[in-house]
Structure formats: C-alpha cells, structure tokens
Structure 1
Amino acid sequence: MEAYDILREMERHKQAVVLATVIHVEGHAYRKQGAMMLLMTDGSMFGSISPGCLEADLSGYAPLVWESSKPQMVEYDMRPADDFGWGETIGCGGLIRILLEPVTGELLVQLLAIRAGLERGEAVRLKRVFRKGYSDIVYKLSGAYEAAEEESGRKMPIPAYSHLFLPKPRLIIFGANPDAVPLAELAAGSGFRVVVTDWRDAYCTPERFPGAETIAAFPQALVQQLALRPDDYVVVMSHQFDKDADFVRGVLNGQLQYLGIMGSRVRTEKLLDGAERPPWLHYPVGLNIGSEGPEENAVSIVAELIRTKRGIRTDGAWNSPVDPMRDGPSCRPW
C-alpha cells in the first residue's frame, strides 16, 4: 500500500483515525521503515504493516490514543530465540517500533498538505521532532532535499524521524484495447497512477478503465497534453503500427523512466526506424516469463515496471541477451 493511498483514504474518513507508522526496524520484518496504515476507532483498518499478525493488537490501541490526543509508541520485539509466539508465527525475527498518532490538529494539517503536494507531483518530507518521549511531537514540512541537506553531517540534538513522501509514479498506457484492461487494473494495484490514452473515444472511457484517468487524442496531441516527465512510465500497446510509431517518435524526444513497446522485436525495429535507443527503452515489453493472454502479459509487464521502480537494472534494456528472437506479449509476428 502506497503512502498516497493511505493519505487519500485518510481524507475520505470523517471518523476518528489513528495513523500507525513503522519508524524503526531491526532484523527481518514484513514491512520496512516508513510503512503506514490507518486504524479507525470502530475497529476497521486500511493498509497493513505485517502479514496480519500485528494489526489486531494495534487496533486495540486506537481508541486509547484517540481519546488521549497523545501519540504513543508500541514496540514488538520478536528477536529472542526462545520466542515461539510472535516471531515463529509471522516468520519474522526483528524488532519493530510503531508510532501511533491521532490524526487531528497539526498532524492533520500537515498530512493534507502532503496529499496536495503529491497530487501536484511533488516530493515532500515530513520531519517529526520528539519531545517528552513520544507524547509530544513537533511537525515540520520541507522539500524533498531541503531537510536531508540540513541534517547531513551533524548529529541531531534531540530525537527526530524524517520521512520522504514520494508521488505515486505515473504509468501511461497508449492503446485502450481489451488487453489493456488487466494491465491498468494490476498496475493500479501495484502502486502506479494509471493514465489510459487512445485516439478512439469509444475505447478510452472511465467505464472500461475504472480508477484510471483517460485521455482521448491523437498521438501528436497526446505527447503535448501529457507533459511527460523523467519519472514517467509508458507502455505502448495500441497494435496499430502507424499510431504506435507516431506516439513513440514523440516520446523519444524527451526523457522517461521507462518506455516499453509491445510487439515482436522485428516489428519494433521497423517502428523505431533507426531512432536512437535510450537505456530506458524496453522491447519486447515485460519480463520473459512465458506469458500467454492478457492477464499473464499484464503480470509480465507490471513485474518489469516494479523491477525498474525498485532500481534493479539489467546490462541493457533494448539489447538484453535473454531470448532476443521472442515475440512480445499478446502479439503475432510481424
């Protein structure tokens, strides 16, 4: 669950809400430092910080934290070798400290400001300075690098925790064919902000792609309208050679995080027509898992998107040595 989704859900709730944030981890844990979830005082939850073993216990703290209007630290130590409860049950063996904060007052104001920044595509850093243990916290917002530069090279005189909130990466799908439906759904569930584009109005509709943004325009106009950024991900899959070529030519004039083109290697070489191949270009799109059909192809593509997002690189994208003659997902040879 992305921080963006947590903040969006928080804004929708009108009832009492407690924010749970993992601020310290030692050893192995299911979620890492910075993971968050929401605990409602009626017992409902949104998000997770474990495989399901800590949430029920944490939920019991929510009414007390809300009523006290004071943050509280909860610690789960699963490191002892003779612990046959927590550690063995969840497959973890670490120490986890979770900060519980009532979402009200200054914290609510700051979280809403963070949500607005993420909507604008901005990275925002929230710094918590702890006073009187963890029961009194001073909150401060800054730009993505401002706080990091301020804190580098010197030891903080008082305990503090700083977290960088990153906007959800944008995935642009060019081609609103039926095989784009499972890709849009899986990508949205994997932490991407999905935008589906096509030149055919009847294909590119919110009804066919619920939860995704939809833009209908011809390729040249789309490139301008999208205002592509270096952190964008793009998958080209309209299956219309001329339209794909027009869109790819416009996209290659900029800089992206990822560009994947669906189709065989031979087709894509013709489509590129001698254009320079940047390192962020991937074809055939997706990881080679032997996928067949729209659903499996979506898994293949999203797996490659996640690998790129996590910074796991190969020796080369477009000239990868893995099975260079294979066709791309869901495509006939060209």
Structure 2
Amino acid sequence: MSNQLIHLLAQWHPLKDAHQWVLGLIYKTEGSCYRKAGAVMLFSNAGHQLGVLSGGCLESDINKQAQRVMQDGKHRTAVYDDNDEEDIAFKLGVGCGGVVHLALLPVTSDNHYLQLHTVYSYLVSGQPCLWKQEVNGELSSSVSVCDNQQASNSEQADNTTRVKPEAKKTAALLDTQNGKCFLTVPCEPPPHLLIVGGGYDATFVVKMAVQQGWSVSVWDPRPAQARVEHFGDANFIVESTEVEALNLHVAEHNIDAAVLMSHHRQIDSNALSMLSRYPLKYVAMLGPIHRKEEMFALAGVKESDFKGFFASPAGFNIGGDLPESIALSIIAQCHAVLANKFPTLK
C-alpha cells in the first residue's frame, strides 16, 4: 500500500468511528531528517499504523506516545533530537543528525476528525487543498472549511482546523496566530499517468507507477492489447479504438503525465496530436531521436507545442535495456519532473 496521503486516509476513513485514532504530525524539522514538516501517520488502538514518520527508527516510540494520547485524550508534542546523547533518537541510533518536532493529536468526532475526512473528499475528487491544523491548543475549538472567498480572508479567522481548495504546491508552513501555533499543509492528489500502448513492456511501467501511489490510465486501440488481465493494477483502461475517447478521458481525469509506448506510428502520432492540446507536465515517447522527428511530422506538431517537459527517448539513460530497467528509467524521470527536481528544470 502506498504512503500517499490519499491512500492512508482511504484506509482510515471507513474505520474512523470503529477505533480510537491518533494523528502523528511532523510540524517542524531542523537539519537532516527522513520526513519533513507536514508528514503524517495514523495510529489506532487496534494496532493500525498507517504511514511513516521516519525510516522505521522512531515509530515504536511514537506509537507508545500515541497510546497514551488514546488513554487520556490529551494531545502531546515530542522532540526527537539525534544530536542529544540523552534523547531517545540518539539512543535508537537514528543517525540522520536532525531534530524532529512532532504533534500527537487525537482524531475524534468531537474535534471533527481534524478535518481529515474533508481533506480526503477533496483528494478523492482530484482537487488539491490546504489543510491548516493547530498543533498546540485545545483541538476541540471551532473548525471550518473555507471556500474560495473565505480563503482570501483566512488570516482573520480563528479556527483550529481549516481546509480550502486550490492549494499551490509549496512546503508546509508553520506560523503563530494569537498565540496559537498552526501548520498549513498543501495536500495534493497523486499524479495521474497515462500510458499509450498496452504491450508487455507497458505492464512494468504501470506496476512501478502504482507502487508510487499514482493513478494510471492505459489506452491502446488494438483489441489484443491493454487487456484487463494484464493491467489489473491500472485505475482505468480506456476501451475504445477512437482517439476521441482518449481525448475525453484526458479532459475528465486531469492527466499530469503521459508515456507513449505503443510501438505503432499511427497510434503514437494520433496521441501526440491530441496530447499537445493539454498542459501536461511530462510527455515521453519511446524510440530514438529520428523517430521523434518522424512522429512530430505525422502528428503535425512541434516540441514547442507541449507545455511541459518532453522526453524522447523516454527516461534517464541508466544503461538498461530490459523492460524492468526501461520502466525504472521512465518513472524516475517522470517523478523528477513532477517534483520539479529534474536537473534542467528551474
């Protein structure tokens, strides 16, 4: 199971009233740490531990503290300092050398589940949001969900937990208002990757994308390709021979990235022509450079028609020629672009 926020909340949501729950929230870090501010983990009195807050070094101690929160219903904060020889983090041999500031917050119907159910509903609908959570006060104080008009005036509101739509992808922000400490966390749905081509090599790309927690769609107009039994991990298989059906699917599902790997000139060129109309962040196509020029000519498009990063040949050059290696190189490159970490991206 992926550690994407939407997947953690998908496991928690149907059980939110069946067990006692505590949210572990990193609200501040100093120096080198495995996870940064905004990272969350959910603990229950039935033994659930959803997510990660470290590389596995701190979770056992965090779980013990979470159990105490369940017993008395009082939120807690904790500091794990890997530089302090007396600190539990140092004694556990964490080795990162940083400091983690953690809040442990009860998640109950009385405090409106810290609005985690609202965050989940936004993410399920494919809509990013900003989640604003108090980390050091009475968590049962007022809670509101902001619409777009309220969002512009959110600094004037005095609410414990706040969610508003249309978040920009930035780091979590810790600030103080009226003596209360708040962490604002941008929450985004996982990326949605489109695979054009349903052959054997595409199955490896799909599996690797799904392991990242991404949503995946597959389209191949050839009846012998993109069969359900071969792509059981995919979220969607576009079952149509018409590129217009793919066009409608892309428009409806807010595709972030696409990989063209049908090994078929007409299929790839048709997809290229259609995808050039959308602001995808990443488009990649298998094949050598001369094939890229041929496909552009057939599609009647130019590389400049694509708003995001275009890669052909697809993926990083990691020296592999097997389907598994090619999939790794493509997903790694796509991940870097979507995270704005690609070396040529500013």
Unpaired runs of at least 5, structure 1: 317-334
Aligned residues: 314
For the pair 1:275 / 2:319, whether they are aligned, the reply is: no
Alignment of 1:200-211 (within 5 A): 200-201=222-223, 203-211=225-233
Aligned to 2:89: 86
1:245 aligns with 2:269: yes
The aligned residue for residue 288 of structure 2 is 264
Structure 1 counterpart of 2:238: 215
One-letter code aligned to 1:116? S
In the alignment, structure 1 residue 121 sits paired with structure 2 residue 126? yes
Contact kept? 1:176, 1:204, Cα under 8 Å = yes
Question: Distance in 2 between the 1:74 and 1:194 partners?
Answer: 38
1:182–1:17 Cα change, 3 Å: farther
Distance 1:42 1:225, change over 3 A: closer
Report the 3-state secondary structure (helix = DSSP H, G, I; strand = E; otherwise coil) of the residue aligned with 1:187: helix
- Tell me: CA distance 1:130–1:60, structure 2 relative to 1, closer, same or farther (3 Å): closer
Q: Which amino acid aligns with 1:123?
A: P
Query: What is the percent sequence identity of the aligned residues?
Result: 27
SS at match of 1:268: helix
Instruction: Tell me the SS of whatever aligns to 2:116.
Output: helix
Per-residue CA deviation, residues 254-295 of structure 1 (Å, 9 max, x unaligned), is: 221111111111112101105221352111110111121111
What do you get for the CA RMSD once the two structures are aligned?
A: 2.8
Mark the CA change 1:211 to 1:67 in structure 2 (over 3 Å): closer, same or farther. Answer: farther
Q: Are residues 130 and 61 of structure 1, via their aligned partners in 2, closer, same or farther at CA, if it must alter by over 3 Å?
A: closer
Contact 2:25–2:103, Cα closer than 8 Å, also in 1:
yes
- TM-score, scaled relative to structure 1: 0.84
Distance 2:118 2:65 in 1: 26
Corresponding residue of 1:300: 329
Matches within 5 A, 1:158-237: 158-201=180-223, 203-213=225-235, 214-218=237-241, 219-227=243-251, 232-237=256-261
Task: For structure 2, list consecutive stretches of 5 or more residues without a partner in the other structure.
Answer: 157-174
| Residue identity matched to 1:238 | S
- Please tell me whether the aligned partners of residues 126 and 142 of structure 1 are also in contact (alpha carbons under 8 angstroms): no
Asked whether the equivalents of residues 260 and 286 of structure 1 are also in contact (C-alpha less than 8 Å), the reply is yes
**TM-score, L = length of structure 2:** 0.81
CA distance in 2, matches of 1:276, 1:85: 57
